[in-house]
Structure 1
Amino acid sequence: MALKAAPEDQALLLELQALDTKLQQLGHRAANLPELAVIATLAGERDALRVTVGEQSGASEDAQTELKRTEADVAVVEARVARDRERLQGSASVKDVAALEQELAALARRQSDLEDIQLAVMETVEERASVLAGSRALLAAVEAKIVEAAGARDAALAELDDERQRAVSDREAIAAKVPADLLALYEKQRARYGIGASLLRGGVSSASGVALNSSDMTVVRAAAPDDVLLCPDSSAILVRTAESGL
């Protein structure tokens, strides 16, 4: 037996469909907020900077380790110089004095070379520390932008959620007015085809955007006002009103 429903009940399906369309649009907007793309881009920059900071931090630590090693070498030479000078002052042997003076000369050359190396390493330490500080500043700036964008995203989502809740409340109120069997058919068609109800306006189905052919229009015109019809193109419930051009 064909389903029947009062025209005014069928008309409620158009309001229901409008709200379902709105809910779908709200979901799409929530999933495609501009802030999400901004956050994704910034997250990529952040991740790249984290890798860079990690590499630069390692290089800076290596330079500091090299500096400590060079400082230790210089300290060893300075200790030997101090020891030899002390021995030189207390030595009465011409041979020992000559040997100590020769060693002190060699140590002086060694100390000069090490101090040059130390100076170069200190410059490297300063350069790498400066580069690392710059990268850390960039990372901090990107992370701050992510926090800002996340705040904007959350505000936008909260606004969309408020709108969604109002639409859900309105939908529940309208659905409660629709006869159960008509509502069940609407939900079935919407789940299967994406649209549950379609307005026939001027002979054109709003769901498909296609004008019904003469044969289909003959069937529609012959149907009783309370007959529930389906759109031949979209399979949505075809709702007839004064705009239908019948």
Structure 2
Amino acid sequence: MKAHPKEQLRLLELAQVDARHARLQHLAKNMPEQIHLVEIEQDRRTRRAAAAEALGVLEDARSELATIQSDSKLVAERRARDEKRLSSASSTKDIAALQAELDTIARRQETLDDQELAQLEQVETLTEAHDEKVAAMREIEAQAADLLERRDLARENLRKEAKELATDRKTLVDSLSAELVALYEERRKRAGVGAAELVGKVSTASQETIETADLARITKAPADEVLFCPDTGAILVRTERSAS
């Protein structure tokens, strides 16, 4: 195939655009922020579960404290009623019965006071434990939120760059013959690189030095002849940096 040397040079520009696009695709699939998010996801779930479990235990303790305080209030009300009855009682039997009941209520109140104090200490301890779990959860959630924000920003930048590359690629393709573009696409599909530069005696498609016999054939070929890398099959474009 024949193609003007300037067209062949534009193939190198096209190859650069395609290489940049391939790098963008690789970055999109291997974004550091996304990888980090995946790495911390298990820790996020563990910390959320720990915070939820700590809250459940704390709520149970608070419920138990509320029950004790409710019982204590009822006992205090019963004590107030009995003391009022005792102050107006005249019968020795009634006085003795009320006093005995007040003694029982006093012991019950003492027990409830001890239980309330112990439960208050338990609630305080569990509150501190819950606060620690929530703080740990919020710490990693803040880290995840930052990673998400940076990932989304990076993705948006990649999308913008990909859009610009698509525009550049269309401009280049439109400036080339359909036959040459078809050949380029066929070689790119086969070799992974559609076109490469001959730098000195090295093909940038294979990064290998071209053998003497092949190099002699390449250097003697007309400037408008489309040549191929002996190792990869990519279109080999000669430039001012090529061996002559």
Q: Give the TM-score of the pair, scaled to structure 1.
A: 0.83
1:20-68 deviations in Å (ceiling 9; x for gaps): 1112223333444443345445655543332222112111210111011
* Residue 104 (structure 2) pairs with residue 106 (structure 1): yes
Q: How many Å apart are 1:10 and its aligned residue?
A: 2.0
Q: Report if aligned partners of 1:42, 1:145 keep a CA contact under 8 Å in 2.
A: no
> Which residue does the alignment assign to 1:53?
51
The amino acid that maps onto 1:72 is: S
**What's the secondary structure of 2:233's corresponding residue?**
coil
1:193-212 deviations in Å (ceiling 9; x for gaps): 21111212222211111122
CA distance in 2, matches of 1:235, 1:113: 92
> Which residue does the alignment assign to 2:77?
79
> Which residue does the alignment assign to 1:164?
162
The amino acid that maps onto 2:106 is: A
Once the two structures are overlaid, the 10-residue window that deviates more, 191-200 or 26-35, is: 26-35
CA distance in 1, matches of 2:18, 2:25: 11
* Residue 173 (structure 2) pairs with residue 180 (structure 1): no
**What's the secondary structure of 1:241's corresponding residue?**
strand
Structure 2: segments with no counterpart, 5+ residues: none
> Which residue does the alignment assign to 2:227?
229
Q: Report if aligned partners of 1:205, 1:212 keep a CA contact under 8 Å in 2.
A: yes
- Number of equivalent positions: 244
Q: Report if aligned partners of 2:219, 2:243 keep a CA contact under 8 Å in 1.
A: no
Structure 1: segments with no counterpart, 5+ residues: none
Q: Report if aligned partners of 1:16, 1:174 keep a CA contact under 8 Å in 2.
A: yes
> Which residue does the alignment assign to 2:210?
212
> Which residue does the alignment assign to 1:193?
191
**What's the secondary structure of 2:209's corresponding residue?**
coil
> Pick from 114, 117, 127: which aligns with 1:116?
114
The amino acid that maps onto 2:192 is: G
> Pick from 1, 4, 18: which aligns with 2:2?
4
Report the identity percentage: 38
Q: How many Å apart are 1:8 and its aligned residue?
A: 2.5
Q: Report if aligned partners of 2:82, 2:102 keep a CA contact under 8 Å in 1.
A: yes
CA distance in 2, matches of 1:56, 1:17: 58
The amino acid that maps onto 1:129 is: T
CA distance in 2, matches of 1:87, 1:174: 104
Q: Give the TM-score of the pair, scaled to structure 2.
A: 0.84
Q: How many Å apart are 1:237 and its aligned residue?
A: 1.2
> Which residue does the alignment assign to 2:13?
15
Q: How many Å apart are 1:15 and its aligned residue?
A: 1.0
CA distance in 2, matches of 1:166, 1:71: 70
The amino acid that maps onto 2:70 is: A
CA-atom RMSD in angstroms: 2.7
CA distance in 2, matches of 1:38, 1:241: 43
Q: Report if aligned partners of 1:5, 1:228 keep a CA contact under 8 Å in 2.
A: yes
The amino acid that maps onto 2:134 is: R
1:78-137 deviations in Å (ceiling 9; x for gaps): 233234334434444434433332232222112101111011112222332333334434
